[in-house]
Amino acid sequence: MEGLKFVETFTPYLQYVHSVKEVVFHGRSRFQQVDILDLHIFGRTLFLDNKIQSAEVDEYIYHESLVLPGLVTVGRPRRVLILGGGEGATLRDVLRFPFVERAVMVDIDGELVDLAKRYLKPWHQGAFEDSRTELIIDDARRYVFETRETFDLILSDLTEPVEGGPSRMLFTLEFYQRLREILTDGGVLVVQSGSADPTYLEFFASLVRTLEEVFPTVRPYWAFVYSFQSPWAFTLASLGRDPLKVPESEIQQVLSEAGSGSRFRYYHAGLHHAMFALPGYVHDALKTQGRVLTDENPFVWEA
C-alpha cells in the first residue's frame, strides 16, 4: 500500500490528497459511494461520495458539538430523534445520558449502517444494541411526515444536499415546519450546517434564514473539525430556551449525569457559550448571503 493516495474533491477547484495506509472497504451502497480507509494522519476515516464524513482522530469534536449544546438547552430530553447519523456516534453520545428513555434513529442507507456496525465500532460503541434504540431504515422525510410521535430533541445529522444524493429535500422550509410540529413544547432542533470557511457560506446562511422562518429562537454556532480542514457550522433552533441563557452551572450538572465511563473530550460547560461567538465574516454572510430554501427551490451542491 506504500504510496496509495485518496483524492477528496471538496469543490471543482479544491482537492485534498490523503495518504492511505489500508483500504478497509471500497464499494457502493444503493445510495452512495462508500470508502472506509485507514489514513496515516486521521486514522480510520469514512468517505461518502468521495467527501470526508468522519475520522477517528477527531470524530468526537463533530459529534459532541452536534449533540451536547442542544441536549443541555432542552435540559434532560427523554425522547430524541436522530436523522441520518449512520456511523452511530450521534446515537452513542445521546445514549450516554440515563434520562434519555428513547432514541429513534432514521437513516435511509441500511447498507452503510451495517458497514458502520462492522468497521466503525469505536464510533457507535454498541449503541445500536442499546434497548432504548429504535433503528429505522427509511427515508427521513417520509418518516417525519408520517410519524405520530413527538420528541424533545431532534438532531439532523444528514449528509449535505448534493445533486443525486439522498438529502436534497431534507433542508427545506416545509421539512422544518414539519419538524417543528413533532417537537414537544420547549423542544430543540439542531442541524449540521456545512462549512463555515470564508468562501462557502451560502449553505450555512441559507439554513439559518430558513430556520428563522419557522422557529422563534435560532442560534448558529461552530467548531473547528481538524479532519474536515475547516470550521464546521451547526444551527440550533429552539421552541423554548435560548442556549445563550443556559447557566454554566446547569450545563455542568447535566453533563455530570452522563453514564459511568463517559468522557467528553471536546465539549464542556465553559465552552458552551463560546461556541455561539462567531467571527465578523460569518455575521456578515448571515446577513447578506443565503435564501429561504423550499421544496420547489432547495439547495443543491454541484457534485
Q: Which residues partner with 220 through β-bridges?
A: 235
Residue 279 phi, psi (nearest 5): -70, 165
Q: Is 93 a catalytic residue?
A: no
Q: Amino acid identity of 215?
A: F
Which letter, b or e, does each residue of 147-168 get, where b requires 16 or more Cβ atoms within 10 Å of its Cβ?
Answer: beeebbbbbbbbbbbbeebbbb
Cα dihedral angle (80, 118, 21, 15), rounded to 10 degrees? -40
Output the CA torsion sign for 37, 41, 43, 45.
negative
Cell numbers given for 89: 456516534
- Starting from the edge strand earliest in sequence, which strands make up the sheet with 151-157, in order? 133-137, 102-107, 79-84, 151-157, 183-195, 230-238, 217-225
Cell of 183: 417537537
Q: Is 34 exposed, middle or buried (0-12, 13-18, 19+ CB in 10 A)?
A: buried
Torsion of CA 193, 197, 203, 205, to 10 degrees: 90
Catalytic position from the list 58, 157, 242, 295 = 157
List the end-to-end C-alpha distance of the chain, in Å, as a whole number. Answer: 28
Residues acting as catalytic residues: 157
